Amino acid sequence: QRYCVRCHGADKTEGEIDFAKIHSEHDLSANDEIWESAVSLIDDGIMPPADELKTSAEEKKMITTWYQQRFIDSVAPHPGYFRPRRLSAHEYRNTLQSVFGFPLEVAIIEAEQTVAEKSLVMKLLPKDPPGRSGFKNDTSGNPLTTVVWDQYSYLVDFAIHKLFSPGQHHHLEKIVGDINGMLSRPQSKTLLRTMARRAYRRPVADDVIALSITSIDEASTEDLDRTTRTELKTILMSPRFFYRGLMMQAPREQVVDVDAFEFAERLSYFLWADMPDEELIQVADSGKLEDPIIFEQQIDRMLASPKSRSLAENLGVEWFSLDQIDSVSDNPPVADALKSQPIDYLTYLFTQDRPIVELIDSRTAFVNAHTAKYYPDDRKQLAATKKQDGVEIASLPNQMISLKENLYRGGFLTIPGVLAMNRGPVLRGTWMLERVLGETLPDPPANVGQVPANRNGEQLSFRQRFEIHRSNRTCAVCHDKIDPLGFALQHFDDSGAHQLLEQPSRNKRKEKEKAVETNIDASGRLPSGETFQDFQELKQILMTGQKDAVTENVVRRFLGYALCRKLEYHDRQAVQQIMANLRESDGTFRDLILEVCNSLPMRRTVVR
């Protein structure tokens, strides 16, 4: 009441924070993220703002202690509540392909220098908005609209038509055996049973599809083909197909183990963004998925599959906002190269049992001819690629190289596309603070001005001019966190290229500014007290003194993506347990994936 409600109450809710809506014990628990954010901002001195009445040190300690006791120490382990959720567009595309055995693609006339979306599913389905977790697979709040339903219907019709077309009979024959002209009645039943098992991701008793089987029995010979197609569509238009978890049986309001098939489904959509394959379903059906050795074998098999690239393409892209790279270059092959670099690197980290700290620094990079200029002393390792006749610039695969000379490029943070999508120290610092260290900042004040230009005779660097700009006390609290991280990357220009001197601005609005090159000051001091002279030294701090913060953020991102929901206060114990186990094992991404898959919220649930 004293410090917060005036700006964050019923009549005024800055930052969409409304303490006035909290009236009961239930409201306290339901709004845990508000308290977590509030405690962090108060503890850091960001809130209340500099021009408002400030909390005393004793009051800060009091609210921190209250939060620790209320939301952490006194909370019993809880897996969270089960939420049925619809398949995301990516998951639906992959699952439909796995059910039918072929992709749904449209014919596109394209040159080698273009990058086009071929998936009919991705072209037709609406784009999924990020859920509260920040990930697009967090779809429990997304409605099933008539538009989505109609698109599902069209896609299923398209897939069934393709399955029954003469050129696709080999897919049918893999299921029902040799076909003599048209399906026999037993073959139609076999098809429906097999497709139901695939679509519902578990063995299906005949009573589940009894009406479909009856329709086949009662159909005339002339109508058998049409009836088979109709009943197949019925199976694929069932919510059991495009929703997850509807087949799991569990008593309400009790903590229970998820059944073997639900667990297999959780694993496959986490690692593949796809349904379990036949081997995983068979292992689940046998009960052997509970065997720790077989469980690890299945995880390793799944990580070795090309499907595991989805971890980088979905989790990685959404975590680090890599879609922003799409707008960095107007040249499609170059933009594709800049974006494929971080995706290939994350795929390498996630699937090759690499240490988590290699997110920060590594001697491995993925490069092609379009990005080789950023690695001038190591590009000689690239194998020559033959230029295609008539193609000026073509998309090229990346090659893995070892960084021997250009060590400043090591790790994820200095990949050219990652730097180019965040131009300037404020954007880069904010991105690192939120995406790498896992901190949340409030929105900047509405009256933030521009960084002043050099006046006549001045030769101030951008950093020196920025110090004048950030002299506002309210701004300085956040910038004390942002600026050291952002300015540490000043040795990289807006394109992501390495530079030894700060170049003058090219912005036409500043043409009157004297064109001078200045030495770059990449030094800084973190709020925690660590100091560094350049980004190489900052990376060492991130891998030592700030290692726990980086690792906890990685754990929270992986767990939230795997669970397809925002982490709640009762998940903190699972996060801390994973953190403790990673410290003991030295922490590779394989270790992390195993820990996430074995965690309480992955293996257990509560159905309301």
pLDDT digits (tens, 9 = 90+) for 49-74: 766 777 888 888 888 888 777 777 76
- 123 and 181 belong to one structural domain: yes
Residue scoring higher pLDDT (578 or 451): 578
Residue scoring higher pLDDT (555 or 63): 555
pLDDT of residue 509: 42
Count of the separate structural domains present in the chain: 5
Domain assignment present for 145: yes
Domain assignment present for 448: yes
Domain assignment present for 499: yes
Weakest mean pLDDT among 196-205, 332-341, 412-421, 437-446: 437-446
Domain assignment present for 358: no
- 158 and 219 belong to one structural domain: yes
pLDDT at 114 over 70: no
- Distance (Å, whole) CA 184 – CA 177: 11
- 167 and 225 belong to one structural domain: yes
pLDDT of residue 513: 42
The fraction of the chain above a pLDDT of 90, given in percent, is 67
Cβ atoms 378, 366 nearer than 8 A: no
Give start and end residues of each alpha helix (H) in 447-504: 462-469, 473-487
**How many residues are given for the chain?**
608
Domain assignment present for 6: no
- 132 and 272 belong to one structural domain: no
Domain assignment present for 188: yes
- 298 and 326 belong to one structural domain: no
- 572 and 427 belong to one structural domain: no
pLDDT band at residue 265 under the 50/70/90 scheme: very high
- Considering 73, 95, 112, which residue would you say is the last residue of a domain? 73
Give me the mean pLDDT over the 281-307 stretch: 98
At 443-485, the pLDDT tens digits run 766 656 566 666 666 666 666 666 665 666 666 778 889 999 9
- 148 and 218 belong to one structural domain: yes
Give me the mean pLDDT over the 411-432 stretch: 96
What residues contact 47, with CB distance under 8 A and at least 6 apart? Answer: 3, 4, 38, 41, 442
Give start and end residues of each alpha helix (H) in 208-310: 210-218, 224-236, 239-242, 260-271, 278-286, 292-304, 310
- Considering 495, 527, 542, which residue would you say is the last residue of a domain? 542
- 276 and 348 belong to one structural domain: no
- 134 and 225 belong to one structural domain: yes
| Parent domain of 537 | 417-542
Give me the mean pLDDT over the 413-426 stretch: 96
The pTM for the full model equals 0.89
- 162 and 185 belong to one structural domain: yes
pLDDT at 487 over 50: yes
- 40 and 146 belong to one structural domain: no
What residues contact 305, with CB distance under 8 A and at least 6 apart? Answer: 272
pLDDT band at residue 100 under the 50/70/90 scheme: very high
pLDDT at 514 over 50: no
Rg of the chain over Cα atoms, rounded to whole angstroms, equals 28
Give me the mean pLDDT over the 338-356 stretch: 98
- What SS3 state is found at 367? strand
- 394 and 485 belong to one structural domain: no
